[in-house]
Amino acid sequence: MYWILNPIWHCSSQPMILWFFTKKIAEKGKHLLKPHGKLYFEINERFGNEVVRVLSALDFKEIRIIKDLNGKDRIVSGQKSGE
């Protein structure tokens, strides 16, 4: 099971909004995803590291930033641990 998300802040320059919604979505993902389920965020290239930090703090594993065809950070993925 996986989720692909393109949150409202995709074009936002507000890191606090990014942090708030990313955290809320990731918390829901921890409860709704099956063990080893994946969560994907489409991001603005400037916010990859912030999303990685949020997922790390919530114990997601195999977190990575995926680049688009132009070489810009575009997707952050994380996997729920196998509980």
Place of tokens 């969560």: 39
- Global pTM value: 0.79
- Measured CA to CA, the distance from residue 14 to residue 29 in angstroms comes to 23
**CA distances for 29 relative to 23, 42, 52, angstroms:** 10, 15, 15
**Can you read off the two tokens belonging to residue 66?**
């995926």
What is the model's pLDDT at position 44? 87
**pLDDT of 29-83, one tens digit each?**
999 999 999 999 988 888 899 999 999 999 999 999 999 999 999 999 999 988 6
